[in-house]
Amino acid sequence: MSDKVLLFKKPYVFWFIGIFILYLILSILISGFYNTIPLIVIYASTISWFKLGASLLLTIVIGLLVSANAVYFYVRYKGRKKCKEGGIVVGAGTIGGFVVGVCPLCVTGIFPLILSLAGISFSFASLPFQGLEIQALIVLLLGVGLWMINRR
């Protein structure tokens, strides 16, 4: 069976969908995006819809890549037990996805929360593209991880 279509075969497609949904739920809960949704409705006229849309799109892409990486990592690990470097990159990308959250500008995220425990004030809003660059970097990292897992 070709590894390229493996993602669309049973039981892997169910694992892919389950991991994707679990990632999105955890990302929404950890970042507190559920608190932001009512504020989006209230302040709709002041929101940069392009940045919010790009952030939501990148979050979905990150979720898809995390799911694909997890399934391929499992298959590769089961088959040859040697995909450590790809697993490290995928793990870093997954944690990075949780750090940024759903909308890096709207919500706290884990990284600013951890820094606040040390008395350091940080927000992704202070970055040039309000955290979208971090999400793009995570997509790139997960893409490299997927390539590393699937190379022979």
pLDDT for the residue 147? 85
Let me know if residue 2 belongs to a domain: no
Q: Which of 6-15, 18-27, 113-122 has the highest mean pLDDT?
A: 18-27
- Is 132 a domain residue? yes
Tokens of 126: 């202070």
CA-wise closest residue to 124 among 139, 137, 112, 110: 112
Q: What is the pLDDT of residue 14?
A: 93
Distance of CA 36 to the CA centre of its chain: 18
Is residue 130's pLDDT more than 80?
no
pLDDT band at residue 85 under the 50/70/90 scheme: low
The residues near 121 (Cβ < 8 Å, ≥ 6 apart) are: 115
10 contacts: CB under 8 Å, gap ≥ 6: none
* Residue 1 lies inside a defined structural domain of this protein: no
Any domain includes 73: yes
Residue 48 resides in a domain: yes
Domain count, the chain: 1
Answer whether residue 68 shows pLDDT above 80.
yes
State the residue range of the domain holding 20. Answer: 7-150
Residue 25 lies in a domain: yes
Query: First CA to last CA across the chain, in angstroms?
Result: 15
Q: Is residue 42 part of a domain?
A: yes
Whether 90 is in a domain gets the answer: yes
If phi > 0 it is left, if psi is from -120 to 50 it is alpha, else beta; for residue 70 that is: alpha
